[in-house]
Amino acid sequence: MNAYRSLRDFDWLMFILALAICALGVLQIFSATHDTPWTDVWWKQVVWILAGFVVMWVATVIDYHTLLAQTPLLYGVSVLTLIATFAIGMTAFHSRRWIGTASVHLQVSEFVKLVLVLLVARYMTELKRQQLELLDLLKLAGLVGLPMALVMIQPDLGTALTYLPIVGAGIFLGGLRWQYAVSIVIVVALVMPLGYFFVLKDYQRGRVVDFLDANRDPKGTGYQVIQSKIAVGSGALWGKGVTKGTQTQGRFLPVAYKDFIFSAFAEEHGFVGVIVLLGLYFLLFMQIVQNAQTAPDRAGMYICMGIASVLLFHLVVNVGMVVGRMPVTGIPLPLMSYGGSNMLAVFMMLGLVNNVRLRRFVN
């Protein structure tokens, strides 16, 4: 750290905000798994958070310009690892997403987000143009589309969709002709029906149908959304209290410590608790954006905004999912949902933001 003026230049506010969200997550995981066979999950989450501090520090001290220079290598390794995951990875819930052992395994697709953030930042920085041309868009679409396709065949549509805001932020900040923007909207509108029938799996199409009418199968595919909305609504103003939620403690709410942790939190902490939690997320995002505004170069700005966009996408989709405003996708709530891979990836992203911030103070 001798290259930096002092540790006071570290973004402690961003770190404290992330830590506060993690603390609420651990509390809710403890409550959601209270008096169940999974009572050890909350302290495992604490271990992942501590490991997150380590990887955050590593991502902070390695100059992001060095990482940008190694982006082609990192991209190649990511693609090969995704192929290996599909070929020999662990299978659970009809998906092959993890590499490792039964006790310790990581979801490779979570870490690919960081590589794509670096990829888009380097690509956009090297263009040296005021606006993107059609060939630039096609190249970028191909680079991001390959790992997306590899993740979708696992199948993991939710994680694949989280790659889109990274490239979307890059294109928006890089400048896009209105003709291209309109063309993209038209192409997406035409491709979506084809994707629904020929790309999505049966269970994925079922989630779309349930999003439109959850009461179609209230005891089957629509069960999660219905119970989630009941849990959110029953929290009222102040909530029912830790370990007091009827939907959560009665095990009506599935995976209350993972994808639907926001529902459990809303039930037990109410509207006031939700406002506090969303306020913490808002401050965290604003801190990341501020670091983007004060970045020492365009590459740093693209890195920070790419990270802000993907984390915001996670929040919007997860919260929208649990209140029935978006289809169920299995996208976790950053820093709260139980899971090691996503926790480590998010802390690495925050480390990259700090990396950009600290380079402002290098002589």
pLDDT (0 to 100) of residue 219? 73
Can you give the pLDDT at residue 102? 63
Q: Which residue has the tokens 């959850």?
A: 214
Place of tokens 């590589």: 115
The model's pLDDT over 266-286, given as tens digits with 9 standing for 90+, comes to: 999 999 999 999 999 999 999
With cut-offs at 50, 70 and 90, classify the pLDDT of residue 1: very low
Q: What is the DSSP string of 211-232?
A: HH-GGGSTTTTTHHHHHHHHHH
pLDDT digits (tens, 9 = 90+) for 90-127: 776 667 887 876 667 788 999 999 999 999 999 999 98
Residue 2 domain flag: no
Count: domains in the chain: 1
Question: Side chain identity at 166, as an amino acid letter?
Answer: I
The Cα–Cα gap between 343 and 85 comes to: 20
Cα 22 to Cα 28: distance, rounded to the nearest angstrom: 10
Domain that holds residue 197: 10-361
Average pLDDT, integer, range 354-361: 88
Q: Which of 5-9, 35-39, 172-176, 294-298 has the lowest mean pLDDT?
A: 5-9
Which has more confidence, 240 or 134? 240
Residue 5 domain flag: no
Helices 298-322 and 223-234: crossing angle, nearest 10°? Answer: 90
Please give the distance of CA 49 from its chain centroid, rounded to a whole number: 16
115, 151 Cβ separation under 8 angstroms: no
> Furthest-apart CA pair in the chain: how many Å?
63
